[in-house]
Structure 1
Amino acid sequence: MRRVVTMAAILAALGACGAAGSQGLPGDSEDTRPYAGLAEDAVIKLVGTEPFWGGRVQGTTFTYSTLENSDGEAIAVTRFAGRGGVSFSGTRGGAAVDLAITPGTCSDGMSDRTYPFVATLQIGSEQRQGCAWREGDDIGDEAGQ
């Protein structure tokens, strides 16, 4: 329960950062509804650099991949929709795994592609940054992966 509260606070803070002085955006203090920009049945794809990582969230499974494990590792997760985005929480080798997806233009820093969501991945004490998109979003060559 404590992790859900923590992720809710992170999502609210991230949403508030992007909504300063604006009306009707995720995290706006007048909008108390959970974020609805990512449907529960959406397949979410992820890409990150430094170190390189990627993944996919489908239903209650987050498949986490690295250069060392390109096939990925399936991690059971639970979904939480906060005011500024969605999060997925689980465990990997006894360490907490928390993945927050928030709306915002994101660049992978290595291509000209832009993605519609920012991804923040926390595995134990390590935090990784990345980008996310829904399967089927038109983001160029990456959309088919």
Structure 2
Amino acid sequence: MRPILILALPVLVVAACSDSGEATREVEIGAPEAPAPTAPPVLNDVALDQPLAVLGTEPFWSVRIRPDGIEYDGVDRPLRRGANPGPTVQGTTAVWATATEDGQTLVVTLAATPCSDGMSDRAYPLTAQVEVGAETLNGCAAPQSLIDTTDETGQPKAATS
């Protein structure tokens, strides 16, 4: 009689614990759980998965970091494009390292330090260093949305009709 009791015990326990008024949820045994969504890396309140504008003066140059790639150009400088491998974040620094279509090394380093471009009153949340081949350039960085919505005084751009 013991074998029958042992086989019936799990059924009795399940029946005693179930509430017939609530919907039950079936769980497939061995199915992996969905991974929890991860937050994008952030430096100085800037999410690094959004489009970023990196720029410098004297000489004027800019880098655009987009999910689909990185572009570098400037006054009297050719447009160079590379893949966006995503940043490597370590502490308060993020680094993107790629090669441009013409084989140049392009390394963009952003630090969580406020920055001024020295020519405008716009405040940038990040300091930047860009290495293109053997040249090193220093500048500032911000979300592209900040550049698009503020003028050089740091004030919201006037709406155009």
**TM-score above 0.5, yes or no:** yes
Q: Give me the whole-angstrom Cα distance separating, in 2, the residues matched to 1:68 and 1:51.
A: 9
Secondary structure of the equivalent of 1:77?
A: coil
Q: Give me the whole-angstrom Cα distance separating, in 2, the residues matched to 1:35 and 1:100.
A: 14
Q: Quick one: percent identity of the two aligned structures?
A: 28
Of the structure 1 ranges 34-43 and 104-113, higher mean CA displacement relative to structure 2 is found in 34-43
Q: Give me the whole-angstrom Cα distance separating, in 2, the residues matched to 1:125 and 1:74.
A: 17
Q: Give me the whole-angstrom Cα distance separating, in 1, the residues matched to 2:97 and 2:74.
A: 19
TM-score scaled to structure 1, two decimals?
Answer: 0.64
Q: Residue 136 of structure 1 is aligned with which of 134, 145, 150?
A: 145
| Residue ranges of structure 1 left out of the alignment (5+ in a row) | 1-33
Show the counterpart of 1:42.
Answer: 50
Pick 1 or 2: higher relative contact order, CA cutoff 8 A, min separation 6.
1
Matched, 1:87 2:73: no
Letter in 2 for 1:110: M
| Residue ranges of structure 2 left out of the alignment (5+ in a row) | 1-39
Query: Does structure 1 conserve the Cα–Cα contact (< 8 Å) formed by 2:41 and 2:49?
Result: no
Kindly report which structure 2 residues correspond to 1:1-145, keeping only aligned pairs within 5 A, or say none.
Answer: 36-37=42-43, 38-68=46-76, 72-79=79-86, 80-92=88-100, 93-137=102-146, 140-141=150-151
Q: Deviations 1:61-93 (Å, cap 9, x if unpaired)?
A: 1111211358x4322132212212211111133
Q: Give me the whole-angstrom Cα distance separating, in 2, the residues matched to 1:41 and 1:124.
A: 25
Number of equivalenced pairs = 110
Q: Deviations 1:26-66 (Å, cap 9, x if unpaired)?
A: xxxxxxxx953343421101110122101210114111121
Letter in 1 for 2:91: R
Query: Does structure 2 conserve the Cα–Cα contact (< 8 Å) formed by 1:35 and 1:82?
Result: no
Letter in 2 for 1:113: R
Q: Quick check: which one's strand share is greater?
A: 1
Secondary structure of the equivalent of 2:59?
A: coil
Letter in 2 for 1:75: G
Pick closer, same or farther for the CA change 1:114–1:39 going to 2, 3 Å: closer
Show the counterpart of 1:29.
Answer: none
User: 4+ runs of 1 displaced by more than 6 Å?
Assistant: none
Q: Give me the whole-angstrom Cα distance separating, in 2, the residues matched to 1:43 and 1:95.
A: 22
Note the aligned Cα RMSD (angstroms): 2.6
Letter in 2 for 1:63: E
